Chains A and B, each alone.
Chain A
């Protein structure tokens, strides 16, 4: 079982729909990142959070530390939101040196006009 699990793997929706992507993790973390990857590889950081909720434009990210769960929401979705959305966890520092991010497999989102 992966340490970071995302659902759904694929999501197709109509323009204007409210989108939710879920991320669950099985290890203690110090931060959770939501990233967006477009075809061709470029990755853009959307959010980094360790508690609560963050909002940027039409995007909202929440995290529940007790339940080890985070969600990314997109309101009023638009075809330009079509991309792969990835959650990535930074594991709690173990004292043995820095860890990089542990990535989920991503959610392929397609917004149809």
Chain B
């Protein structure tokens, strides 16, 4: 069992709305990365947080933002939802970033109508 949880499991929103997805990291992990996985594609890196600071970002617009809290849980916020934002959103926690074993959550399936 990975110990990484995500909520909600599924979510349906309409275009233009805002959404917040949540991730609870495995105990002791201070790094969390968020990924977007479109249907049939590999995950794409959104950003990474280390000790509550964003320390890396992929090719995603500013309407994708995040937070990491002192207990190392985190949020992914997406504003002004677009149809193409429909995807599986995955978080992965680790102790020391992407050169450490990654523990993935089960994902949140977001559908934008």
Is the beta-carbon distance between B98 and A101 smaller than 8 angstroms?
Answer: yes
Is the beta-carbon distance between A48 and B101 smaller than 8 angstroms?
Answer: yes
Number of interface residues of B (CB under 8 A): 31
Q: How many A-B residue pairs have CB under 8 A?
A: 73
Is the beta-carbon distance between B42 and A86 smaller than 8 angstroms?
Answer: yes
What does DSSP make chain A's interface, helix, strand, loop or mixed?
Answer: strand
Is the beta-carbon distance between A48 and B104 smaller than 8 angstroms?
Answer: no
Q: How far is the CB of B33 from chain A (nearest CB, A)?
A: 5
Of B44, B47, B50, B90, which one neighbours A43 at CB under 8 angstroms? Answer: B90
The bracket for how many chain A residues form the interface is 20 to 34
Is the beta-carbon distance between A90 and B99 smaller than 8 angstroms?
Answer: yes
A36 and B48 CA atoms in complex are apart in Å by: 21
Of A30, A33, A97, which one neighbours B102 at CB under 8 angstroms? Answer: A33
Of B45, B100, B101, which one neighbours A100 at CB under 8 angstroms? Answer: B45
Is the beta-carbon distance between A42 and B104 smaller than 8 angstroms?
Answer: yes
- Among B14-22, B52-60, B69-77, B78-86, the stretch that binds chain A is B52-60
Asked whether A90 and B43 contact (CB < 8 A) given A43-B90, A100-B35, A100-B48, the answer is no
B66 close to A (CB within 8 Å): no
Asked whether A105 and B56 contact (CB < 8 A) given A41-B37, A41-B107, A98-B98, the answer is no
Of A42, A44, A50, A97, which one neighbours B107 at CB under 8 angstroms? Answer: A42
Q: Which residues of B are found within 8 Å of A101, using beta-carbon distances?
A: 33, 35, 43, 45, 98, 102
Q: How far is the CB of A108 from chain B (nearest CB, A)?
A: 10
For residues 74 through 89 of chain A, which have their beta carbon under 8 Å from a beta carbon of chain B?
Answer: 86, 88
Seen from chain B, the residues whose Cβ lies within 8 Å of a Cβ on chain A are 2, 33, 35, 37, 41-48, 50, 55-58, 88, 90, 92, 97-104, 106-107, 109
